Structure formats: C-alpha cells, structure tokens
Structure 1
Amino acid sequence: MGSWQWNDQQKPTAAVGVRATAGAVTMKDDPQAPQRPYVFVRGYDSRLHVNWWDGKAWHWSDQGTPAGRTVIEKVGAVTVKDTPNAPQRPYAFVIGDDSKLYVNWWDGSKWNWSDQGAPTGRRVREGVGVVSVQDNPSAPQRPYVFVLTDDFRLWVNWWDGKAWNWSDQGTPPSRTISRPLGVTTMRDTPNAFTRPYAFVITDDSRVWVNWWDGGKWNWSDQGTPSGQPVKKGAGVVTVQDTPQAVERPFVFVQGYDSKLYVNWWDGGKWNWRDQGAPAGRLILDSVGVVTMRDDPAAFTRPYAFVIGDDSKLYVNWWDGSKWNWAAQAAPPGRVVERPGEAVTVQDNAKATERPYAFVVTDDSDLWVNWWSLP
C-alpha cells in the first residue's frame, strides 16, 4: 500500500523564506520519462525562485527578476512542447512592480525573462491563470495567459505561433469582475483542438465563464450554489470518464459559509454540488485541485486540497463512486500558514498518478504532502 508523506522543501536560501507560491508544473524530458515537479515561489526578497526535482534530488534555483523590477504577484505556470515528442519547457508568469506581465521561461538551454507588457493604457491587476492550447494533437502548444486589469476587465495574452497578442475578453453582461477563479482547457475528442475556459467571480458573487466554442468567445452565467454566494475560487480541472471521452470541467469554489462547492458539467448540463467541509471544521483557504488516474486507461478522479480553520491540510476526493474528506494534518511541529499549489506526478507513462500538495508553513518553509507508492 502507498501512504501520504510530508517533506520539508525548506527555503530558497537560509536567509530568504517563501512569501507565496507562484505556480507549479511537472516536466518530462521525453514522453516516456518520469515527471519532475517544478514549484515556483516568490521569496521575501521579491525574486522568483524554483524548487525542482532532477530525478534524484530536490534543488532550489534563483530565477531572479525582470530587469530593474521586482515580482509582486503570481499569475501561474504552464509547460510548453514544440512537438509531441519534444521536452516540456516551463513558463512562469508573474506581475512586476510596474503592473506589467512578465514571463520566466526555459528555451531548452537557458532561462530567460520576457516583458509581456500590458494592454494599451491599462495595468495588470491580478492573474486568473495560464493554460496551453493546441490546434491539434500534433501542433505546438501555445500559452494563453488570463489576467484582470485595473478597469476590472478580463484580458488574455496569447501566443499565435509567431507573436504575442493581447485580446480584450471584456466582462459579463452588465456585471463587473471582482475576483479571479481559475482556467482550464477542454477537448471534445482526443483529436480535437483545445478550447480555453476562464472562470471569474463577479460583483454579485456569482461565477461566470469566458469560453471559446471553436468559432467565437462567449460569456456564460454559472450562477451560485443554492442560496450561497461565492467567496473565492478553489481550483478548476477537467475530468474524463475514459481517455477517449469528452473532457468535462469541474469548478471548485468556497462559499461565504466556508464550505466547498463544485460546479460541474455532466456532459449535458451544468450542476452545483455541496461538498461540505471536513468534520467539525470550516475551510479557511484553498491549495489547489488536480485529477488522478489509477492507470492510463482509467477515468480521472478530482482531488481538491484546502486549509481548515485549524491550519491543517484536508482533501476532498472522488474514489470512483463517492466523495470523501481526508485529513492530511500538518507538517510535524508546524502549522499551514499560506496556500500553495497542487500537481500530479507519474513515474512513467503507464504508472499511477500521484498527488503532490505544496504549502507554506509558519516558518516560511515550503512543504509538500505527497502520495508515495510502496
């Protein structure tokens, strides 16, 4: 049997603690290679750092800052493949102290900083999330970076294969966007193009989605759980019943009652479900959401990691027939102070996926709660 473990990833340096996480990805050097986690953080020095696994050991690397700037906020991280058999390359997007978007990216041999700018006449206020898009399964992956600007509109900074572009996604009809929620992509079939979905929370505490139908962008009102306004997002994933099935979004949110809810697509309609909270607890914050496969032919199973009002980690997970809450506790002698990131790791292309949930503790260390196979 496998088991859950806690591991102290420590700090970027003895003198620089972790202020906040900035995104996490898993890397493959080729399609058959083991996945290797990369977790980007913002240190108390306002620089970007990455904690990464080389296949044998963990390392910290100082990614620095954009020239003449400091890092003030995360947007998210994603990996890009130039061809289906190429190595994955990480891209970590952040907001600088000039309210512009920047990316720290690996070109295959070295790390680079690129100034993505901001929409004309606007400032980047907050990140919504990052996804990669493919026109077909053999095409290069292209990053799409969703942000909120200072006029409370949704914008996307996207790569068309040759150049970066800014596009104004606007706002839901007669509403103002108040908070980000998260992003995901959809495929209608395994050979279809990917379609981005960007979820936000509006000034009336409802969930809206800006989504691409293959020909145009649309805004759709997802509403709220019955009688409960939405306080903040907890994470967004896509779920597949089989590897050949349509992908279906699951959108996890926290209500003002400090409970977890999910807005999910069943293939024919959207539904809201009350996930509750860990027994005797309220939800304080979220860490992230991932999906799990027990083997490459299995259905995907969502895992939503949250922080309880006792400063411990909990997970709400689907076992294939029902939802469960599990107490992940906290690192020995520590409390979970700030949320982090969640990813899944595969040891090889046929292996079970394993969740890794990263958090920041009260001593400003990065810790990971991970599932270890026997």
Structure 2
Amino acid sequence: MGSWHWNDQESPTTAVGVRATMGAVTMKDDPQAMQRPYVFVRGYDSRLHVNWWDGKAWHWSDQGTPAGRTVIEKVGAITVQDGPNAQQRPYAFVVTDDSKLHVNWWDGSKWHWSDQGAPSGRLVREGVGVVSVQDNPNAAQRPYAFVITDDFRLWVNWWDGSKWHWSDQGTPPNHTISRPLGVTTMKDDPNAFTRPYAFVITEDSRVWVNWWDGSKWHWSDQGAPSGQPVKKAVGVISVQNDPNAQQRPYAFVQGYDSKLYVNWWDGGKWNWSAQGAPSGRLILDSVGAVTMKDDPNAFTRPYVFVIGDDSKLYVNWWDGKAWHWAAQNTPPARVIERPGEALTMQDNPNAKQRPYAFVITDDSDLWVNWWSLA
C-alpha cells in the first residue's frame, strides 16, 4: 500500500528563505533511469535557486542571476532532450527586473544564463508557461516560452533548432488579455509532431486558447463555466486514454465563487465541468495540475492540487471512473502560506507515476507532499 508524506525541503540557506517558486521538472540521465525532481525558486535575495534530488539525497544550489539583474517573475521550467536516448536538460525561464526574458539552462556539463531579451519595442509583463515541441518522436525537443507583454499581447520566444525567435501571437479578436492560464502540448498520435496550446484569460473573465494546428495558429473562445466568470488559473495538462490515443487538453480554473472548474476536450468537442471544492471549504489558491499513469500502458489520470481557505492542501483527482476530493492537510506545526508547483515522479520507465506537490510555509521553507509506493 502506498501513502502520503510531508517532507521539509528547508530553504536555500539559513539566511535566505523561499519567496516564490519558478517552476519544477523531472530529470532523467538516460531513458531507463529514475526521474529526479528539480524545483526552481526565487529566494528573498531575488536570486534563482534549485532544490534537486541526485537519486539519494536532496541539495540546494544557487543558480545566481543574469549579470547585473535580479529575478522578479516566473515563466516556467521544462526539460529539453536532444534525442530519444539523450540526457534531459533543465531550462528555467524567468523575467528579470528590466522586464526581459532570461533562461538558466544546463548544457549537459554546466549551467548558463542566456538573455532572451523582449519583443522589439516591448517589455515582458508576465509568463504564461513553457513547453517543449518536437517535430517527430526522434527529433530534438525545442523550447517555446509564452509571455504577456506590456501591451497585453501574447508572444512566444521559440527555438527553431539553430536560433531563437520572437513571434507575436496577438490577442483574441476584439479582446484584451488580462492574465495567464497556462500551456500544454498536444499530439494527435504517438508519431505525430507536438502542437502547442497557450491558454489565457481575457478582460471579460473568459478563457481563450491560442493553438497550432500543424500549419497555422488560431484563437478559440473557450468561454466560461455556466453563470460563473473565471477568476484565475489553476493549471493546464494533456490527458491520454492510452499510449496510442490522441492527447486531450484540460484547463483548470478558479471561478469567482472560489470553486474549481475544468475546460476539457473529449476528442470531439470542448466541455466545461464543475469540480466544486473540498467539503465545507472554498479555494484560496492553486498549486498545480499533473497527470498520473498507473503503468506505461494505462490512461492518464488528472490530479489538481489547491490550497483551501483554511490554508490546507487539497487534491481533486480522477480514479478512472469518478472524481474525488482528498485533504492533504499541512506540514506538521506549519501553515501553508504560498502555492508552489506539482510534478509526477517515476522510479523507472515501467513504474507507477507518483505525485509531488510543493508549497511554501509560513517560515519560508519549501515543503513537499508526496506519494510513496511503500
């Protein structure tokens, strides 16, 4: 039988606490290896730090800052793989105090900071998210970082395999982007190219998605839950019924009624579903959404972590037939003060995936609520 645990990841140093999380990924040294979590945070020193697992123990590493700059906002983190048998390499995208995009990335032997700049004549306001795009299953992965600029337009900073580009994705017709929601990728089948989907919330509290059909970009109005405007993002994932099926996007949001809703694609049409809230509670903030697989041939099952108005952690999860709310509670003698990140871990390519939800407590430590198989 498996069980949930709380673990104190502490903080970068005794003098520097965790201010906010910047993104989380899992790393694999080779395709048969165990996944290893890397959680990027902004410390109270406005520097980037990473809490990472080497396979036996956790470590904190100071990633520093771009030269002469400080880190102010997250965009997200991904791993990049140069080929199917290559090591995964983390990339953490951040916004700095000059309102430009920077990336802290691992080349396989050392870390680098790269100045991605900003679209011509514009400043980067905030991040929407980061994904890796692949032209086919044997191709190198290519990062795409979506941001909102100071004129409230969506832009993407993307790698074509040899150089970086900025592309203006514009805005939904006759609307202004007010806040980010998240990004994911879609594959129509296991041998297809990946197609980015970037979700945003407009000034009228509706969800829109900017998506790539394989030849051109589109804006689609996803609307809002019946009678309930969208307040803010919770997380975006892709769900798959089996390893050979089409991937299907799920965008989780919080309504102004402080309840959870999901906009999801069933393979033929989009739907809105009301997920509600934990019994007797309202949702205060979100931690993130992940998908779970019980084995490599299984369907994926969404897990959505949120913080309740009692400052406790809750998860809304799918068992394959029905949705459930479960109370994850809080770290011992601590209060959850700020949201973090969520990811899944796999001990080997044939193992069951295991959720990890990271939060920041009232003492500015990073904590993780994680599922063990034992």
Alignment TM-score, normalising by the size of structure 1? 1.00
Cα deviation, 1:240-294, whole Å, max 9, x if unaligned, reads: 0000000000110000000000000000000000000000000000000000000
One-letter identity of the residue aligned with 1:52: W
- Flag as ranges the 4+ runs of structure 1 deviating above 2 A: none
Distance (Å, rounded) in 2 between the aligned partners of 1:196 and 1:243: 19
Q: Find the counterpart in structure 2 of residue 226 from structure 1.
A: 226
Q: Find the counterpart in structure 2 of residue 207 from structure 1.
A: 207
Q: Find the counterpart in structure 2 of residue 250 from structure 1.
A: 250
Q: Find the counterpart in structure 2 of residue 47 from structure 1.
A: 47
Residue pairs, 1:2-41, within 5 angstroms: 2-41=2-41
One-letter identity of the residue aligned with 2:319: D
Distance (Å, rounded) in 2 between the aligned partners of 1:167 and 1:64: 28
Q: Find the counterpart in structure 2 of residue 89 from structure 1.
A: 89
Distance (Å, rounded) in 2 between the aligned partners of 1:293 and 1:47: 35
Cα deviation, 1:137-161, whole Å, max 9, x if unaligned, reads: 0000000000000000000000000
Q: Find the counterpart in structure 2 of residue 59 from structure 1.
A: 59
Tell whether 2:304 aligns with 1:288: no
For the residue of structure 1 that corresponds to 2:197, the secondary structure is: strand
For the residue of structure 2 that corresponds to 1:326, the secondary structure is: strand
Cα deviation, 1:29-48, whole Å, max 9, x if unaligned, reads: 00000000000000000000
Gaps of 5+ in 2: none
**CA root-mean-square deviation:** 0.2
Distance (Å, rounded) in 1 between the aligned partners of 2:262 and 2:72: 30
Measured after TM superposition, the shift of residue 17 of structure 1 is: 0.2
One-letter identity of the residue aligned with 2:246: V
Distance (Å, rounded) in 2 between the aligned partners of 1:143 and 1:247: 19
Distance (Å, rounded) in 1 between the aligned partners of 2:319 and 2:335: 28
One-letter identity of the residue aligned with 2:152: F
Distance (Å, rounded) in 2 between the aligned partners of 1:260 and 1:220: 21
For the residue of structure 2 that corresponds to 1:136, the secondary structure is: coil
Measured after TM superposition, the shift of residue 74 of structure 1 is: 0.6
One-letter identity of the residue aligned with 1:265: W
Q: Find the counterpart in structure 2 of residue 72 from structure 1.
A: 72
Cα deviation, 1:66-97, whole Å, max 9, x if unaligned, reads: 00000000100000000110000000000000
Distance (Å, rounded) in 2 between the aligned partners of 1:336 and 1:4: 17
Distance (Å, rounded) in 2 between the aligned partners of 1:293 and 1:99: 38
One-letter identity of the residue aligned with 1:108: G
Tell whether 2:347 aligns with 1:347: yes
Distance (Å, rounded) in 2 between the aligned partners of 1:186 and 1:297: 18
One-letter identity of the residue aligned with 2:50: V
Q: Find the counterpart in structure 1 of residue 321 from structure 2.
A: 321
Q: Find the counterpart in structure 2 of residue 177 from structure 1.
A: 177
Distance (Å, rounded) in 2 between the aligned partners of 1:14 and 1:271: 47
Q: Find the counterpart in structure 2 of residue 216 from structure 1.
A: 216
Paired-residue identity, %: 83
Q: Find the counterpart in structure 2 of residue 338 from structure 1.
A: 338
Alignment TM-score, normalising by the size of structure 2? 1.00
Distance (Å, rounded) in 2 between the aligned partners of 1:161 and 1:312: 43
Distance (Å, rounded) in 1 between the aligned partners of 2:180 and 2:124: 13
Measured after TM superposition, the shift of residue 49 of structure 1 is: 0.0
Residue pairs, 1:259-298, within 5 angstroms: 259-298=259-298
For the residue of structure 1 that corresponds to 2:148, the secondary structure is: strand
Gaps of 5+ in 1: none
Measured after TM superposition, the shift of residue 300 of structure 1 is: 0.2
